Chains A and B, each alone.
Chain A
Amino acid sequence: MAHDAALHDDHHAEHKEGFIHRWVMSTNHKDIGTLYLIFSLTMFFVGGAFAMGIRAELFEPGMQLMQPYFFNELTTMHALVMIFGAIMPAFVGLANWMVPMMVGAPDMALPRMNNLSFWILPFAFCLLLSTFFMPGGAPAAGWTMYPPLVLQGGDAIAFMVFSIHLMGISSIMGAINIIATILNMRAPGMDLLKMPLFCWAWLITAFLLLAVMPVLAGAVTMLLTDKFFGTSFFNAGGGGDPVLYQHVFWFFGHPEVYIMILPAFGIISEIIPTFSRKPIFGYKAMVYAIACIAFLSFIVWSHHMFTVGLPIGSELFFMYATMLIAVPTGVKVFNWVTTMWRGSLTFETPMLWSIAFVILFTIGGFSGVMMALVPADFQYNQTYFIVAHFHYVLVTGAAFAIIAGVYYWLPKWTGNMYSEFWGKVHFWNSAIWVNVLFFPQHFLGLAGMPRRIPDYNVAFADFNMISSIGGFLFGASQLIFVGVVIHCAFFSKKRAPAKVWEGARGLEWTLPSPPPHHSFVTPPVIDDSVLAHGDVLH
């Protein structure tokens, strides 16, 4: 009786929570996950707006719309907002929603810290975006913030450094939370090697975050003291070394690019088996491949710096190490394809995004292998070829995987089905226009157009115009996404069953859709046949 009354009270309290109490003071992993995702979608549009400005200025040769310095502010802020504001928080939001439900935990291990790590972000980005309105403007030295150039900026530098500190604190707390949840709160019977690959990918990513966010904090703190406190870490005139910054930055920066892609691998590894109705091929190899990529990510940073004049021994070491990354990455791609082979495929929206991910991310990987070859990199480095490369891995890689994950889990979160028709309209528009946007940038880079320039020779005019048109339409296509999500959450009449997808397996699909506000309050009794990888040791 007493137990029932307590349950009833709890249930009652849930409904009486005020808006502020529920959303601002939330310690619930689902609500915080939602907050992260809304925040990241907002930043996706803010960063996207900057990109539209960039593509508008590059639409034709000559300077039509802005001063060159403002163009540099846009490229810098576009990258900072997209990386730290859109991609990273989106993955944390997906982890918040899914990791506890996947491992059978009632919530994240550290719920209050979870609240704090989210609510730091809006303040960090207010600080960062406010620099646009300051005398001297926003930071304009590129998101890599290379000294001595970045030190020529105004007071905005202090704001940028402080907001990066805040983002770093947020990421570190998020990472600690995910590690603590996965290592301590798995339901009995959920062995590490029975976990979904999304959890594995995030566990390894979280260790990367812990390892490198402090390094970034150190690098930008040295910028801060060089700028305002008279130190000379990076000032050659004072005995410092501008290249030292690049080494420290890229020691963070290279693992960072894997931080933005490993969770994407996890999402794709959930979706492809579901719609192939067949277990993932080589589960253990997939786990080892992620771990292997994570390890290699620490010993390849100088491939961003092949032209700074490294000694030949360094050039060769970093070339070989970088090329090695292609091996575990190749294993992942081959395993996804083999998962589809002899499956029973259907092509719902999440599957379409995942297939596009595998193809387009692989294209990004190809240009990555080409750039690993040092002599060839002398022609590619700092051109539009690399712009095309990292947008293939980050937009059609990371962002496509996030969107795939949202379509995949949205019915679970809301309890309603999204519109399959509009989801597909969104997909086809995005998949077509993103290639019109980024594929010609390979040609531009090979023809000799440097990146981060606001104006160019007339020989580059045609492909720039095509790229801009693709950019505007790709940007506009994302409005469909907002429509689909709002419709699904508030207006869709079609209810989602607990197991939304026929081929889906895992604990999260044993919960009703939407799941109760507090799920797995008592640990589930795990039946291996429910799990996607319950029989992996056989």
Chain B
Amino acid sequence: MSVSKFLRQASAAVLALTASASVLANPVPWQLNLTPGVTSESREIYALHMAAFWVCVGIGVVVFGAMIIAMFRFRKSRGAVPANWSHNTKLEFLWTLVPVLILIGLATPATRILMNEYDTTGSDMTIKVTGYQWKWRYDYVDYFGKAVSKVGYMSKLAAESNRIRQTGSGLDPESVSDHGFKDYLLDVDRPLVIPAGVRVRFVVTGGDVIHGFWIPPFGIKKDAIPGIINDVWVKVDQPGIYRGQCHVLCGQDHGFMPIVVNVVPKSQFESWLAAQEAQANADKAARTAQVGASATNTLAQH
């Protein structure tokens, strides 16, 4: 069975298993393995991961098995007499060639998956993600070809987690939960909101030092680097709350800048976005009026 065929079958199996289990996307106690995630890309990554894992297990069984057999059969205490050969060109050629073939078998699907992940063309909307010490800023740039007006906000660790995580607070991290998920250090004050079933392109950068934008259930990870704009895309079909963390050491509160994404149905997202835009414009109008009023005041005083 070719590796890519194996990958396809594994993907299908995983898909069936996780069809309605977005809860599996976030970490659970005693979790042993990678999350298959909720995007077709994260499932491909999971299948690749499992293929590589089983290849390693197979090689391990052969190599460690041979060692264990040698350790029992060729003990001096059992009267083993050492052979004196130390070369075998055929054997050496064989175990150079076979690993090369195995590696080609792994590299082929990896290349295909990577090419797909790297192709950020054809996105339906763009969100700019900026890492700051120690919070995220999300700016909505465009949505289906139409520029979004002034929708952007900061997202930082939720107050309750922040209180508990202070050194020596004595408070119980187990006490924080959201819909049954104990989300200590994985909850924020304002999550990123994106529509389900829409191809979203994130442009990722850093505002001060290098941060990392990583959402395991989506299978995306990009460094947020000052002076550089990276991009990565995602299409999530299933609404839900998905959590990630900053993955690049960015200073003292590196462990305390989670990423929470609220994936909502498209129609709900559109009304949310419209409300945000209206709010932003109203705020702007209010500010303009205020500035105008204070200018008038200043003039009047003179």
Give the B-binding residues of A (Cβ under 8 A).
61-69, 72, 140-142, 146, 148-149, 152, 236-237, 240-243, 276-283, 285, 307-309, 312, 315-316, 319-320, 323-324, 326-327, 330-331, 333-335, 337-347, 355, 358-359, 362-363, 366-367, 369-370, 373-376, 378-379, 381-383, 443, 446-463
Contacts and interface: CB of A to CB of B under 8 A. Distances in A.
A378 B212 CA distance: 11
B71 interface: yes
A149 B76 contact: no
B48 A343 contact: no
23 contacts: A61-B184, A66-B167, A149-B250, A242-B228, A278-B84, A282-B92, A308-B230, A320-B107, A331-B92, A334-B63, A337-B66, A342-B74, A342-B80, A343-B82, A345-B71, A376-B110, A382-B221, A447-B32, A448-B27, A452-B249, A452-B254, A457-B185, A463-B30
Nearest to A141: B249
Interface stretch (B94-102, B148-156, B274-282): B94-102
A241 to B, nearest CB: 7
Given A149-B210, A277-B76, A327-B99, A307 B223 contact: yes
Contacts of A236: 225-228
Given A278-B83, A366-B59, A450 B167 contact: no
Given A375-B113, A457-B183, A344 B27 contact: no
Contact of A243 (B113, B220, B225): B225
A242 B227 CA distance: 8
B67 A375 contact: no
Contact of A346 (B64, B77, B91): B77
A278 B82 contact: yes
Closest 8 CB pairs of A and B: A236-B227, A453-B255, A309-B230, A447-B31, A366-B56, A459-B27, A342-B83, A69-B252
B165 A457 contact: no
Interface residues of B, number: 101
A240 B225 CA distance: 12
B225 A375 contact: no
B99 A330 contact: yes
B29 A459 contact: yes
B135 interface: no
Contact of A456 (B167, B183, B185): B185
Given A278-B86, A282-B87, A333-B63, A61 B249 contact: no
A453 B165 CA distance: 12
B75 interface: yes
Contact of B100 (A148, A327, A452): A327
A503 B49 CA distance: 43
Contacts of B30: 462-463
B103 interface: yes
Given A152-B209, A330-B99, A370-B49, A363 B221 contact: no
B52 interface: yes
Contacts of A323: 103, 106-107
A344 B82 contact: yes
Nearest to B217: A448
Nearest to A278: B82
A343 to B, nearest CB: 5
A452 B32 CA distance: 20
B225 A242 contact: yes
Nearest to A69: B252
B265 interface: no
Contacts of A72: 249, 251-252, 254
Interface in B238-264: 244-256
A457 B249 contact: no
B119 to A, nearest CB: 9
Given A68-B252, A459-B28, A148 B210 contact: yes
B169 interface: yes
Interface of A (DSSP majority class): helix
A67 B113 contact: no
A465 to B, nearest CB: 11
A121 to B, nearest CB: 27
A344 B174 CA distance: 56
B86 A459 contact: no
A324 B87 CA distance: 23
A327 B87 contact: no
A91 B176 CA distance: 49
A80 to B, nearest CB: 14
B300 interface: no
Contacts of A331: 92, 95-96
Given A67-B167, A345-B70, A457 B186 contact: yes
A370 B53 contact: yes
Nearest to A238: B227
Contacts of A140: 251-252
Interface in B38-96: 41, 44-45, 48-49, 52-53, 55-56, 59-60, 63-64, 66-67, 70-71, 74-77, 80-88, 91-92, 95-96
B52 A370 contact: yes
Interface string B228-242: 101100000000000
B209 to A, nearest CB: 4
Given A64-B167, A459-B28, A375 B84 contact: no
B86 A362 contact: no
B31 A443 contact: yes
Contacts of B255: 68, 450, 452-456
Given A69-B252, A331-B96, A340 B247 contact: no
Given A344-B81, A355-B67, A459-B31, 16 more contacts: A62-B173, A63-B166, A68-B255, A152-B251, A312-B118, A331-B95, A333-B63, A342-B70, A343-B70, A370-B49, A373-B52, A373-B107, A455-B256, A457-B184, A458-B29, A462-B29
